[in-house]
Amino acid sequence: MYDYIIIGGGSAGCVLASRLSEDPAINVALLEAGPVDNSVLIHCPAGLALLARTGAAGWGFDTTPQAGLNGRKGYQPRGKVLGGSSSINAMVYMRGHKADYDHWAEQGNPGWRYTDVLPYFKKAEHNERTFDPKDAEFHGKGGPLNVMDLRSPSKYGAIFIEAAKQAGHPESKDFNGAEQHGVGMHQVTHKNGERFSAAKAYLTPHLAPNLARTNLTVITSAHTTRILIEENSGIKRAVGVEYRQGTETKQIKASREVLVCAGAFQSPQILKLSGIGPAAELQKHGIPVVHDLPGVGENLHDHIDVVQVVNAPHLKDLFGVSLSFLPRAIKAIFEWRKHRTGMLTTNFAEAGGFIKTSPEEETPDLQLHFVIGKLVDHGRKPTFGHGYSSHICLMRPKSRGRVTLASADAMAAPLIDPNFFADPDDMRRMVQGFKQMRTILSQPALAGYRGQELATTAEAKTDIEIETVIRNYADTIYHPVGTCRMGPQEGAQANRLNVVDSELRVHGMRNLRVVDASIMPRIVAGNTNAPVIMIAEKAADMIKAVQNG
């Protein structure tokens, strides 16, 4: 028997496990389907490239065939390891735009305005940079999550920034400060030249001795199969969790709450497997309906993204596969092992920015990521030679999809349908963004290096041709959200497809919350890891408030 059971050892789960177990009188269990995070490929930032290529530490989900992608299946990597996706992502620290959180509040979610959530971003953060006074008020010191500037950045990030400025875009020194709009270098979740995942920030013994707490039990290789629910006098409450470990099926009980932190794909899947979701879908798979909640799995949306790749074989100081690169790579391995410096401290997406499809836009609606290597098919396909890449990503897509069950088998992957480009406005903005990205890459600062855009995209000149390229090559940039949407089911802002209230409690259930990216009513304009950590920090305080009466 535990006070709290947390399903999912990703970013949100690590935060909740750490914060709730601060009280020695509270017993917490954390269930993670993957292993502990002991691979060097996780801790060495540049190991990201091999993680992508091998699929190690990830679920490796695919989407259903996407009509908007000419029938292709999209790739949807999610972390299956302690730390979750924060152990396999590109480590960019980004919060999104202030307006995103104000929009959440306007959808009937009090307490989620930017001014409400900023203290939780700051509580989580320890930023190593010394900021200008106008930006310092937005950042924290002393929090568990270490944020810093890249230790050994490539020179090409600064060159990309100069090219973007030549194309008319402003420079931003701090995307998380007073003004997001502009281009600049990314800050990253690193410490001492290593990846600093949510697991390292909130759990790992030699950095934060929380795993030594006798009131915190972390169970890895534990695949949750369902939430245990009891009903008494019409009141339905979560009382425990069933999980599979190897060939054994086990159960543990929770006296206070079950907290679902399995992410935008698996949180709705677990709820449905437990009988919580759209009645017709559950009945289709022979799952007894415990609570008919139509919104579970709906409202899936994601940042759709396309990459322009530039071939520059003569630029040997960029990452690439070549005989001349091998000695540099070997030297870099020894440098990283000895000093935690050098080229292996890169996150690859070293620079980027937020731009607008037109000056009339109130806030940026496109995001750039500049990568110091040739990125093809999420880095899963080896590309020989050297070069660089630039992503263009749509910040606030209008298209909505869903997550459904493939079967009642808890070990089967869910069916993931982001419904990319269902709304024509998404494609219109992406085409404009593609052209703006090409303009940046053609500016003198970069053009002087004589790189050549790969033929797969270079031949696209007209809007119709660019749209074809986007449909042939676009895919996620790994930010799925929204499938357990936060919002009221009563009052002026009521929506029957809302799943959790503003306290993240599942509507119609007791002792059950969802705490992860799935609760976002609308995706934030930026990378989603920092917002998920903020959500969990805020949720921990909500839970403690109930706990303390």
Determine what percent of the chain is predicted with pLDDT higher than 90. 94
Tokens of residue 14, six digits: 């690590």
pLDDT for the residue 208? 54
The secondary element (H helix, E strand) that includes residue 281 is: helix 279-284
Architecture of domain 60-75+95-197+302-476: 2-Layer Sandwich (3.30)
Question: Is residue 276 a contact partner of residue 293, using CB atoms and an 8 Å limit?
Answer: yes
Helix/strand/coil percentages in the chain, nearest 5: 30, 25, 45
Tell me the average pLDDT across 477-500.
96
DSSP 354-371: EE-SSTT-SS--EEEEEE
Which pLDDT value is given to residue 205? 59
Distance CA(512)–CA(514), nearest Å, equals 7
pLDDT in tens, 413-423: 999 999 999 99
Exposed (0-12), middle (13-18) or buried (19+): which is 292, by Cβ within 10 Å? middle
- Segment 515-525 mean pLDDT: 98
Calculate mean pLDDT across residues 524-543.
98
Q: What is the DSSP letter of 509?
A: -
Q: Are 442 and 457 in contact (CB under 8 A)?
A: no
Residue 478 near residue 221 (C-beta atoms within 8 A): no
> Tell me: the pLDDT tens digits for 449-473?
999 999 999 999 999 999 999 999 9
Of the given ranges (197-206, 291-300, 346-355), which has the lowest mean pLDDT?
Answer: 197-206
Question: At residue 505, does pLDDT exceed 50?
Answer: yes
Residue-wise DSSP of 136-181: HTT--SS-SEEEEE-SS--THHHHHHHHHHHTTPPB-S-TTTT---
- Over 70: is that where the pLDDT of 181 sits? yes
Angle at 357 between CA 356 and CA 363, to 5 degrees: 35
Higher per-residue pLDDT: 382 or 260: 260
> With 60 as the cut, is the pLDDT of residue 207 above it?
no
The model's pLDDT over 90-103, given as tens digits with 9 standing for 90+, comes to 999 999 999 999 99
Q: pLDDT tier at 403 (50, 70, 90 boundaries)?
A: very high
Per residue in 134-175, pLDDT tens?
889 999 999 999 999 999 999 999 999 999 999 999 999 999
Could you tell me the end-to-end alpha-carbon distance of the chain, in angstroms, rounded to an integer?
21
Query: Computed from CA positions of residues 44, 9, 503, 120, in that sequence, does the dihedral angle turn out positive or negative?
Result: negative
Q: What is the pLDDT of residues 38-77, one digit of tens each?
A: 999 999 999 999 998 888 899 999 999 999 999 999 999 9
Backbone angles phi, psi at 183, to 5 degrees: -120, 150
2-39+200-301+481-547: CATH number: 3.50.50.60
CA dist 136 → 97, 260, 412 (Å): 17, 34, 47
Domain spans of the chain? 2-39+200-301+481-547, 60-75+95-197+302-476
Residues 6+ apart with CB under 8 A from 538: 111, 117, 120
pLDDT, the chain, mean = 96
Angle between helices 114-124 and 529-547 (to 10 degrees): 100
The residue whose two tokens read 């999420």 is 378
* Residue 31 to residues 7, 84, 151, 172, 259, Cα–Cα distance (Å): 5, 12, 34, 40, 10
- Report the share of the chain in percent with pLDDT over 70: 99
Decide if pLDDT at 210 tops 70: no
Q: Which residues are catalytic?
A: 479
